[in-house]
Amino acid sequence: MYLFKQKDTLDRHLSTARKNGKRIGFVPTMGALHQGHLSLIANAKENCDVVVCSIFVNPTQFNDPADFEKYPVTIDNDILQLTDAGTDVLFLPSVQEMYPDGLTVKTHYDFGQLETVLEGAHRPGHFQGVGQIVHKLLDLVKPDKLFMGQKDFQQCLIVNRLLKLIHSPAELVVCPTLREPDGLAMSSRNMRLNPAERQNALNIYKALIYVKDNIHIASFSEILNSAVNQLKMNKFDVDYLSLVSVEEDGTVTFPKEMSSRPLYLVVAAKEVSSGVRLIDNMQM
Ligand code: AMP
């Protein structure tokens, strides 16, 4: 596996690959890698000739400085996992390399309604930060395909919109969420949970299953209220737990009953004892 820390050396390497007709698959991450990330690498390997992974904990997308400070960093282990997975290139830039002119936001992306609901409403500025870093990385890597996880439901919608806004030819491939054997969605933030908190975190998954199992039995609002109350009883601060659909134009709607459009339950809640905020979603 090639490891590049500078944009220009990565660019030179990928330009040669592109000239040789290689299709480039790109998996951007923030590191602290787990099987969920590796499933994206595997998908990219199946569909592309050269697989590029980036590891960069992007400061501009953290609306909570404490979350940024505590974000797990396990770079030696990440390198081992990526090598085993057959990754061709790892891009591991510094903050200075990605933001040579400082962290002040210069570009504003018009993500419209998507930035005002769910994660957008609870993490002000988060998606502008995501937009900045994904735009910079896309300009550099120029991938044929970009692989991202369904686990970050709204991020996938934002990136789809970004690709249109910046006229990128890259195709977004959304990959399924990998879960632990008991159902908890794999996440780098799970590393910050002690065994009791890790056990409690499972209530997020239980809430998804509860709603899925009861969706035809009572009204949406009754089921959602009941699921929120269960989470609260288990010491979660719930930011949102909502049933949503995605419209043709990429915006999110909040249906009150079943329709022909796919329906997703999306949840974000902080496990109070650890202070770790977890997100998950499931198609109903
Ligand atoms: P992160 O390092 O958390 O920014 O995630 C990097 C990529 O991995 C994003 O596209 C995530 O959606 C994806 N990802 C994170 N967790 C999972 C998971 N459990 N299953 C599949 N993909 C995931």
**Within this chain, do residues 200 and 164 fall inside the same structural domain, yes or no?**
no
Residue 183 lies in a domain: no
Residue 187 labeled ligand binder: yes
Mean pLDDT, to the nearest integer, of 83-93?
98
Predicted local confidence at residue 237, as pLDDT? 98
Q: Are residues 271 and 163 in the same domain?
A: no
Confidence of residue 81 (pLDDT cuts 50, 70, 90): very high
The pLDDT tens digits of the residues spanning 108-149 come to: 999 999 999 999 999 999 999 999 999 999 999 999 999 999
CA-nearest residue, atom 17 of ligand 1: 36
d(CA 30, CA 9): 21
CB 126 near ligand 1, within 6 Å: no
pLDDT tens, 166-199?
A: 999 999 999 999 999 999 999 999 999 999 999 9
pLDDT of residue 23: 98
Is residue 152 domain-shared with residue 20, that is, in the same domain? Answer: yes
Residue with the two structure tokens 């395909």: 145
Total of domains in the chain: 2
CA–CA separation, 189 and 166 (whole Å): 31
Distance 82 CA to ligand 1 centre (A): 14
Tell me the CATH number at 232: 3.30.1300.10
Q: Are residues 198 and 138 in the same domain?
A: no
Contacts of 105 (CB under 8 A, 6+ apart): 60, 125, 128, 129, 132
Whichever domain contains 22, its CATH number is 3.40.50.620
Residues 208 and 165 placed together within one structural domain of the fold: no
In terms of domains, do 32 and 84 share one?
yes
Q: Are residues 26 and 160 in the same domain?
A: yes
pLDDT at residue 106 tops 90: no
37 is in an annotated binding site: yes
Domain identity same for 143 and 217: no
DSSP state of 270: E
Query: Looking at 152, 175, 198, which one is the last position of a domain?
Result: 175
User: Could you give the CA distance from residue 9 to residue 52 in angstroms, rounded to a whole number?
Assistant: 13
Atom of ligand 1 nearest to the CA of 149: 12
Does the annotation count 13 as an active-site position?
Answer: no
**Helix (H/G/I), strand (E/B), else coil: 147:** strand
Residues 141 and 204 in one domain: no
Asked, for residue 132, whether it belongs to a domain, the answer is yes
Catalytic residue among 37, 122, 126, 135: 37
Domain housing 95? 2-175
Ligand-binding annotation for 34, yes or no, is yes
DSSP string, 11-70: HHHHHHHHHTTPPEEEEEE-SS--HHHHHHHHHHHHH-SEEEEEE---GGG-SSHHHHHT
137 and 205 inside one domain: no
Residue 105 pLDDT greater than 90, yes or no: no
Residues 116 and 206 in one domain: no
Report how far ligand 1's centroid is from the alpha carbon of 252 (Å): 21
